[in-house]
Structure 1
Amino acid sequence: MSATADHADGKEQPNMAARLGLEAGWIVQEIGYDDDSDNELRDAIKAVTGEEFVDDQTDEVVDVVLLWFRDDDGDLVDAFFDILTDLKAGGVVWLLTPKVGRDGYVEGSDIAEAAPVAGLSTTSTLSISADWSATKLVVPKSGRRG
């Protein structure tokens, strides 16, 4: 595993967060956290950025939004519109959804349909942990708000 791992019992953690392309000092807004969210992944992200997460009540402009979303969490388009408020130009949204066969699984086609309605483009999807997939969304340069 990685030589950057700090914990003997969690050597894969920094690798999980590193796969998201996060950097030290980045401000990460977390939305949709619940009991089923992956705490090891959350801790790994905090270790990489060196920052605590901010919530939806922040006054800060954020570099990344982590959106934990399950099928019964409501309308995905609405969720996308809500998170774009605090995202800086060039920022990234990581949509974290349960994997196939897990409670709350979100169809990939639902994500593909909802993203452009909110002005987002999907760029990649990763298997980020045992129970969660991560889909990277960005605001296309031609679709940036001024």
Structure 2
Amino acid sequence: MSATADPADKSNPALKLGFEPGQVIQELGFDDDTDQVLREGIEEITGEELADEDYDDVADGVLLWHRDDDGDLTDALVDAQEYLVEGGLIWLLTPKKGRDGHIEAHEIAEAAQTAGLSQTSSISVAAEWAGTRLATPKAAKSKR
């Protein structure tokens, strides 16, 4: 595995996520259905293994896999912010429409707003998964 991904290598789906070399990315909600190619792509870009849910240091970003039956999405988004560095991003990955565990866009928007996050974009990140980029407003971060 190289320390950094070749920007010309468009086959790496993780390039869409904007992660950079050296960043620590905490992964939450890992299960048998997560996309291994995307996970490996993130590790290739950052040069770091994904930190698991037991990680208790500051992370530059969070990769949150969440399905409709995983429990309350708002709670998961609040928990995802626990070790997130100021200005860090959360990528919420949910099953695409028509797949088991799909979460409607309005539910994501409502949960993000309740958790104090701003939804900035949504993309297709893998065959089975859609990604929603969530950011914590700087004003909310400075009050912590």
Same fold by TM-score greater than 0.5? yes
Distance across 1 between alignment mates of 2:85 and 2:59: 6
- 2:54 is aligned with 1:42: no
1:58 positional shift = 1.4
- Write out per-residue CA displacement over residues 45-81 of structure 1, whole angstroms, 9 at most, x where no aligned residue: 1000000011122121000100000000000011011
Partner of 1:83: 80
Partner of 2:48: 51
- 2:117 is aligned with 1:141: no
Distance across 2 between alignment mates of 1:4 and 1:141: 32
The match for 2:114 among 107, 113, 117 is 117
Partner of 2:3: none
Which one-letter code corresponds to 1:103 in the other structure? Answer: D
Distance across 2 between alignment mates of 1:62 and 1:106: 26
Partner of 1:33: 30
Structure 2-normalised TM-score? Answer: 0.91
* RMSD of aligned alpha carbons: 1.3
**Which structure 1 segments of 5+ residues have no match?**
6-10
Matched positions, count: 138
Distance across 2 between alignment mates of 1:76 and 1:83: 10
Distance across 2 between alignment mates of 1:87 and 1:141: 13
Distance across 2 between alignment mates of 1:73 and 1:30: 15
Distance across 1 between alignment mates of 2:133 and 2:109: 11
Distance across 2 between alignment mates of 1:132 and 1:51: 22
Percent identity (aligned): 51
Partner of 1:132: 129
- Write out per-residue CA displacement over residues 78-135 of structure 1, whole angstroms, 9 at most, x where no aligned residue: 1011111100000000000000001100110001001111110100000111110000
Moved segments of 4+, more than 6 Å: none
Distance across 2 between alignment mates of 1:137 and 1:118: 10
Structure 1-normalised TM-score? Answer: 0.90
- 2:11 is aligned with 1:12: yes
